[in-house]
């Protein structure tokens, strides 16, 4: 029997979007369509793969996935199709689904266009609609018009997709866009506060669009100022208190204004996540309280809140940091006053995964050390990719190690108030062994074991590669453990229960890698690892001096996973940290 196709999250989201579109045009009830909308939103924001969760029988951990959708996904992964999905889409022209996601074309318009122009093939649907728009054939269709026709032509010509259909931005990309916007907005004197909302504020690894909240007593002036922002390309809608635009980089921005007294309510409502708000709303209704972006209605009176802390307090809840608002158990923890005090960037005292020109870095050893010293670190680890014994020979690599030890010794003498440690990032090979023999590993202060090749091996082999490394007495921690590259490569298929048990048995650690396209270990796996009592190094994996400042992105992931200061090894003072290093 052929191995079942390992559907990616993106493929699953596309499948569900098509089913949702079919439901909308066939008039399914709002509760059923909303369930699919919630599931799509949750999967879009997942940091693990749905397929891996299915293999581990953990699909129900995905917010919005109930028994029915769980059974459909089970069928999809086992057979490659779902009879229910096929039934829902039956009778609809295939070309309709080739238009889903184009800005200005919703499900009903996609159906009308497919029917009008006999679109039976999804791959050619967009080109045929574009041709029809160029010939002026769309404007005369019911529910369209000349402007609608022009908008559709522009959207297809310029590959403009709806915000839900676009490839999601990396967190740092979204942050750069948002920071420029906020700097511009805050120049206006009537702006009292302005902050990002949504998945960006929750520090999700990827972000779909930018949401901004502004506290002001003069919404009209704020909207007028925002409309002059030079990066705006298209205005989707404009009202008294909200405006939606598309920037020249094709990113949608929704700006909302609030009077200062209700600013906290708006912040809470639009930070989300959707599932968090659903759980919070359900709890509140049981207490006779109704939530909205304007505040909390209780006994026919609207209570406004200028801060989120006041908002949660009115619900008799402990404040929940945005990073924890996943829609899982955070409300329950809050009601019990057990929300953890999350680790902060300023808690970090050193970085243990960095590269220099001795391997694939772009800055020299001393340039990296000098920057770490400037950042006020108490200790700093140099961990270039280990030189190859296979190509250089044992004695040559041994000589390289001794020479580098001398360099680091001299730098330790030069920079008195920062302690330098010498490690290597050692490949975990496809045959499950390490690329350096133990005789050389024992010469190092610490060892990072990482997978860099053969990510597509089956679960059993990937799991064995990690476990064998964890059982090696010289390995300190596993680097970028899942091997994922966000928007490029899915995480390797791994039995994490076995891996975490091996780490627990061998007193080993995992890295939370801060590289902006890795952010690995993922927050869901961090939560699971914490249940085994495991701890982490938060590192940058910096290959240049400027990348040493990426550490905040790793802290974001650690916070989303629920880590406190005590869960992170490199928050320890030098003496305690050195004990950890020396114990390996």
The predicted-structure confidence for 433-466, as pLDDT tens digits, reads as follows 999 999 999 999 999 999 999 998 999 999 999 9
pLDDT digits (tens, 9 = 90+) for 145-155: 888 888 888 88
- Note the Cα 358 to chain centre separation in Å: 31
Interval 73-120: pLDDT, tens: 999 999 999 999 999 999 999 999 999 888 888 999 999 999 999 999
pLDDT band at 6 (very low <50, low <70, confident <90, very high): confident
Is the pLDDT higher at 331 or at 63? 331
Q: What percent of the chain has pLDDT over 70?
A: 98
Instruction: Name the β-bridge partners of 302.
Output: 297
**Parallel, antiparallel, or unpaired: how do β-strands 419-427 and 446-450 relate?**
parallel
Query: Looking at 353-442, which runs of residues are DSSP E strands?
Result: 379-385, 419-427
User: C-alpha angle with apex 65: 63 to 71, nearest 5 degrees?
Assistant: 155
Q: Which domains does the chain have, with CATH numbers?
A: 9-157 (1.10.150.110), 169-258 (3.30.460.10), 262-335 (3.30.210.10), 345-582 (3.20.20.140)
Give residue 1's pLDDT. Answer: 44
* CA atoms 312, 313, 317, 321: torsion sign: positive
Q: Which of 576, 485, 481, 483 is nearest to 534 (CA)?
A: 481
Does the structure show a pLDDT above 90 at 198?
A: yes
Q: How far apart are CA 229 and CA 250, in angstroms?
A: 14
* 503, two tokens: 């780490």
Across all residues in the chain, what is the average pLDDT? 94
pLDDT of residue 137: 93
Q: What pLDDT, on a 0 to 100 scale, did the predictor assign at position 165?
A: 61
DSSP string computed for 498-533: HHHHHHHHHT-EEEEE--TTT-BS-HHHHHHHHHTT
Residue 194: closest CA among 236, 238, 225: 225
How distant, in Å, are the alpha carbons of 160, 219, 239, 388, 570 from that of 181? 21, 17, 19, 47, 34
Listed ranges 31-35, 132-136, 314-318; the one with the highest mean pLDDT = 314-318
What is d(CA 569, CA 175) in angstroms, rounded to the nearest whole number? 27
Enter the pTM of the model. Answer: 0.85
Helices 30-44 and 9-26 meet at what angle, rounded to 10?
Answer: 160
Give me the helix-helix angle, 496-506 and 459-470, nearest 10°.
Answer: 10
Q: Residue 48: pLDDT band by 50, 70, 90 thresholds?
A: confident
pLDDT tens digits for 502-520?
999 999 999 999 999 999 9
Give the tokens for residue 192: 């009292």
The residues near 365 (Cβ < 8 Å, ≥ 6 apart) are 356, 357, 358, 382, 407, 408, 411
């Amino acid at each position: 029997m052929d191995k079942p196709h390992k559907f990616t999250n993106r493929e699953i989201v596309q499948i569900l979007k098509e089913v949702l579109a079919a439901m909308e045009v066939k008039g399914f009830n709002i509760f059923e369509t909303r369930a699919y909308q919630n599931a799509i939103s949750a999967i879009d924001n997942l940091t693990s793969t749905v397929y891996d969760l299915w293999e581990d029988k953990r699909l129900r951990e995905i917010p919005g996935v109930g028994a029915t959708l769980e059974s459909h996904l089970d069928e999809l992964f086992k057979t490659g199709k779902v009879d229910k999905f096929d039934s829902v889409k039956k009778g609809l022209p295939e070309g309709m689904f080739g238009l889903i996601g184009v800005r200005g074309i919703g499900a009903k318009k996609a159906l009308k266009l497919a029917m009008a122009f006999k679109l039976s093939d999804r791959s050619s649907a967009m080109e045929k609609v574009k041709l029809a728009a160029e010939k002026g054939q769309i404007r005369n269709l019911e529910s369209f018009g000349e402007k609608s026709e022009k908008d559709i032509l522009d959207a297809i010509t310029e590959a403009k997709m709806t915000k839900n259909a676009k490839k999601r931005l990396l967190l740092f990309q979204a942050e750069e866009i948002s920071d420029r916007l906020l700097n511009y907005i805050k120049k206006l004197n009537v702006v009292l506060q302005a902050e990002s909302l949504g998945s960006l504020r929750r520090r999700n690894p990827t972000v779909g669009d930018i949401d901004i909240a502004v506290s002001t007593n003069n919404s009209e002036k704020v909207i007028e100022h925002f409309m002059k922002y030079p990066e705006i390309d298209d205005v989707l809608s404009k009202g008294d208190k909200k405006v939606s635009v598309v920037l020249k980089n094709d990113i949608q921005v929704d700006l909302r204004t609030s009077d200062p007294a209700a600013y906290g309510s708006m912040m809470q409502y639009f930070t989300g996540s959707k599932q968090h708000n659903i759980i919070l709303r359900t709890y509140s209704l049981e207490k006779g309280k109704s939530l909205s972006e304007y505040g909390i209605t209780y006994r026919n009176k609207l209570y406004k809140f200028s801060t989120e802390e006041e908002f949660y307090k009115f619900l008799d809840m402990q404040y929940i940091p945005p990073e924890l608002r996943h829609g899982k158990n955070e409300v329950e923890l809050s009601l019990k006053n057990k929300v953890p005090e999350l680790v902060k960037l300023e808690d970090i005292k050193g970085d243990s995964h960095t590269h220099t020109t001795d391997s694939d870095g772009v800055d020299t050893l001393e340039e990296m050390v000098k920057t770490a010293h400037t950042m006020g670190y108490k200790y700093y680890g140099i961990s270039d990719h280990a030189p190859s014994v296979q190509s250089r020979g044992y004695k040559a690599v041994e000589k390289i190690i001794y020479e580098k030890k001398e360099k680091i010794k001299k730098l330790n003498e030069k920079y008195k108030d920062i302690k330098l440690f010498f490690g290597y990032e050692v490949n975990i090979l496809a045959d499950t062994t390490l690329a350096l023999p133990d005789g050389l590993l024992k010469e190092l202060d610490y060892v990072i074991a990482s997978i860099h090749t053969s990510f597509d091996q089956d679960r059993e082999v990937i799991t064995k590669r990690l476990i064998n490394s964890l059982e090696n007495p010289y390995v300190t921690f596993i680097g970028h453990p899942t091997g994922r590259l966000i928007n490029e490569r899915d995480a390797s298929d791994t039995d994490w229960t076995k891996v975490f048990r091996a780490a627990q048995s061998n007193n080993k650690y995992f890295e939370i890698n801060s590289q902006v396209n890795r952010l690995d270990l993922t927050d869901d796996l961090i939560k699971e690892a914490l249940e085994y009592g495991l701890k982490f190094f938060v590192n940058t994996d910096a290959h240049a001096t400027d990348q040493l400042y990426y550490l905040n992105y790793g802290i974001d992931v650690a916070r989303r996973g629920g880590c406190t200061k005590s869960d992170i090894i490199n928050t320890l003072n030098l003496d305690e940290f050195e004990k950890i290093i020396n114990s390996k």
